[in-house]
C-alpha cells in the first residue's frame, strides 16, 4: 500500500496550479475506473457509474452513483479547493528597470508576501493560443528556477529589524527574470510551449493565466519525519484526502447514497466565479446526477438535499508555540492530534451543533478524536467554501480541516500523523456512517 504522506507530497508537487491539480486528480480517478463526463452532453447514469466533470479547467467534481435514488438516500459530498495564494503574472508582463528584466505580478489571495522573497521561483499555468482559426488552451510548467524577488540588503534598510518589513505589492514584488532591455517574456513562453509540444509563434499567444511557485519539493522533516513542509497544503492536502477517501470507499463497495467530491477554484478570492463555490457547479452537478440516474423532478431533488451532508474540508490553524496568545484559550488545535472541527457563531464556518455532532460521530466510528477551533473573539475569522455551498445548495454542512502552521506562506507546515486519520474519517463518511 502506498504511504499516504508520500502520496500527498507527490500530489502537491504534481499540482503547481489549479489546472494541474485538476489533471492530476483526473488521472488518479481514471486509474480506478472513473471517466470524463462533459457538461455539454446529456447525462444518462446508472447505479455504480463513476464519472467526473471539469468546469473552467480549475474545478472538478467526481461522483459514484449510489444504489438508491438520491431522493431516498441523498448525497454524501466532500468539498475542498484547488487554488492557493501566490503571485500571478499580469497580462503585459515585461518590466525593464535599471538593466534588469522583471515581471509584473499581482498577489492572488491573502499572500504572506515576505515569504516569497529570496526563493527560487518558477511559473506554471495555462495559455490560450490561436490555432487553425480557433483557440486552444494548453498547460505549461517551466519547473526550473526562473525568478527571484530579492530582499533589500540590511545595509540599505537598517530599520528593518526594529520596525518590521513593509512591502508594497506594486513596487517591491516584481521578480527578476534576466538582464538586458530587449528580453521578451512571451517569446520565452513560446519557447517553453515548444519544448513541451508543438512550436507556437508569438502572435498565436492570445492570453494566459500564469502563476509563480516555489521550486523546492515537498518533503518530510523533523527529528523523526513528523512534519510535512510543502507549498499549497492549504488546500491540496484536503483535496487529496477527499479523493483518497472516495477511492478507498469505492474499493469497499457501493453505498446507497451517491458519493461526491467537488474541488473548487477561486476559494482564496471569495469563490465568486463560475467555477467557484459561489457559482452553480455543485448545484448543477447534484441535480443532473439525480435526473440522469432516476429522472428526478424538483420535489425529488429537494428530498435528496434534505437527506444529504457536505463536509467542507479546509486546513485549520494549529497552535503556534511562539504566538500562543493569538489563539482562543481552550480551542488550540495541536499538530499531530487529529482533525479539527471549525466553528464560528457568525457563520464564517457552516458548522452547527448538529453537523459538529455528525462529524464527531464519524470520528468515533474509526477511533479518531477530533479537535475544535474557534478564533479569538477580538480577531477576524477567515471563511471557506462551507457557508457558500451550504447557502447555494441548502445542504447540511460541517467545516473541518487538519491543523497546520505557516498558512498562506510560500511553504507551509503540517504533521505527518494527521494525514491518515482525516482520510479514515472521510472514507467512513462515504461508506455510510451515521445519518
**Averaged pLDDT, 175-197:** 91
**Averaged pLDDT, 359-378:** 97
pLDDT tops 90 at residue 153 = yes
pLDDT tops 80 at residue 154 = yes
pLDDT tops 60 at residue 391 = yes
Least confident residue range of 184-188, 293-297, 388-392: 293-297
- In whole angstroms, what is the distance from residue 386 CA to residue 384 CA? 5
383: number of Cβ within 10 Å: 21
Share of the chain above pLDDT 70, in %: 99
**Averaged pLDDT, 239-249:** 98
Per-residue pLDDT at 2:
63
Share of the chain above pLDDT 90, in %: 92
| Domains assigned to the chain | 4-84+231-431 (3.40.630.10), 86-214 (2.30.250.10)
Per-residue pLDDT at 14:
98
In terms of Cα–Cα distance, which of 433, 424, 30 is closest to 241? 424
Per-residue pLDDT at 1:
42
Per-residue pLDDT band at 423 (split at 50, 70, 90): very high
Higher pLDDT, 158 or 367: 367
Per-residue pLDDT band at 302 (split at 50, 70, 90): very high
- In whole angstroms, what is the distance from residue 291 CA to residue 430 CA? 21
Per-residue pLDDT band at 181 (split at 50, 70, 90): confident
**Averaged pLDDT, 91-102:** 95
Q: Cβ(389)–Cβ(351) under 8 Å?
A: no
In the DSSP assignment, the letter for residue 148 is B
In terms of Cα–Cα distance, which of 305, 310, 373 is closest to 337? 373
pLDDT tops 80 at residue 433 = no
Mean pLDDT of the chain: 96
Q: Cβ(70)–Cβ(289) under 8 Å?
A: yes
Higher pLDDT, 52 or 182: 52
Please report which residue ranges of 252-377 form alpha helices under DSSP H. Answer: 281-294, 298-306, 353-365
Per-residue pLDDT at 182:
78
pLDDT tops 80 at residue 116 = yes
Spell out where 82-143 has E strands: 86-97, 100-108, 121-131, 134-141
pLDDT tops 80 at residue 296 = no
Amino acid at each position: 500500500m502506498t504511504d499516504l504522506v508520500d502520496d500527498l507530497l507527490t500530489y502537491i508537487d504534481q499540482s503547481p496550479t489549479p489546472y494541474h491539480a485538476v489533471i492530476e486528480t483526473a488521472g488518479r480517478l481514471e486509474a480506478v475506473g472513473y471517466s470524463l463526463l462533459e457538461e455539454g452532453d446529456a447525462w444518462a447514469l446508472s447505479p455504480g457509474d463513476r464519472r467526473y466533470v471539469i468546469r473552467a479547467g480549475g474545478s472538478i467534481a467526481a461522483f459514484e452513483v449510489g444504489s438508491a435514488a438520491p431522493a431516498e438516500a441523498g448525497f454524501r459530498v466532500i468539498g475542498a479547493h484547488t487554488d492557493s495564494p501566490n503571485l500571478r503574472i499580469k497580462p503585459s508582463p515585461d518590466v525593464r528597470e535599471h538593466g534588469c528584466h522583471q515581471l509584473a505580478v499581482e498577489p492572488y489571495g491573502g499572500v504572506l508576501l515576505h515569504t516569497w522573497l529570496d526563493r527560487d521561483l518558477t511559473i506554471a499555468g495555462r495559455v490560450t493560443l490561436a490555432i487553425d482559426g480557433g483557440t486552444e488552451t494548453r498547460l505549461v510548467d517551466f519547473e526550473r528556477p526562473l525568478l527571484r524577488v530579492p530582499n533589500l540588503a540590511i545595509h540599505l534598510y537598517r530599520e528593518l529589524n526594529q520596525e518590521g518589513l513593509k512591502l508594497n505589492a506594486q513596487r517591491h514584488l516584481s521578480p527578476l527574470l534576466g538582464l538586458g532591455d530587449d528580453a521578451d517574456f512571451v517569446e520565452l513562453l513560446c519557447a517553453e510551449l515548444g519544448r513541451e509540444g508543438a512550436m507556437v509563434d508569438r502572435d498565436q499567444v492570445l492570453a494566459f493565466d500564469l502563476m509563480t511557485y516555489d521550486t523546492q519539493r515537498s518533503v518530510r522533516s523533523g527529528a523523526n519525519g513528523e512534519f510535512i513542509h510543502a507549498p499549497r497544503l492549504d488546500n491540496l492536502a484536503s483535496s487529496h484526502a477527499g479523493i483518497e477517501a472516495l477511492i478507498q470507499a469505492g474499493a469497499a463497495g457501493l453505498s446507497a447514497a451517491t458519493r461526491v467530491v467537488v474541488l473548487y477554484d477561486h476559494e482564496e478570492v471569495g469563490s465568486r466565479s463560475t467555477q467557484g463555490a459561489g457559482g452553480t457547479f455543485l448545484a448543477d452537478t447534484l441535480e443532473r446526477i439525480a435526473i440522469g440516474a432516476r429522472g428526478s423532478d424538483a420535489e425529488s431533488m429537494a428530498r435528496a438535499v434534505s437527506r444529504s451532508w457536505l463536509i467542507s474540508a479546509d486546513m485549520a490553524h494549529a497552535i503556534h508555540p511562539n504566538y500562543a496568545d493569538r489563539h482562543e484559550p481552550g480551542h488550540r488545535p495541536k499538530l499531530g492530534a487529529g482533525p479539527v472541527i471549525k466553528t464560528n457563531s457568525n457563520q464564517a464556518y457552516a458548522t452547527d451543533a448538529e453537523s459538529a455532532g455528525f462529524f464527531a460521530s464519524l470520528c468515533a466510528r474509526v477511533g479518531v478524536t477530533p479537535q475544535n477551533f474557534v478564533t479569538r473573539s477580538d480577531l477576524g475569522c477567515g471563511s471557506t467554501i462551507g457557508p457558500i455551498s451550504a447557502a447555494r445548495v441548502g445542504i447540511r454542512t460541517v467545516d473541518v480541516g487538519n491543523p497546520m502552521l505557516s498558512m498562506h506562506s510560500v511553504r507551509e507546515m503540517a504533521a505527518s500523523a494527521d494525514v491518515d486519520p482525516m482520510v479514515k474519517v472521510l472514507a467512513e463518511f462515504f461508506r455510510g456512517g451515521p445519518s
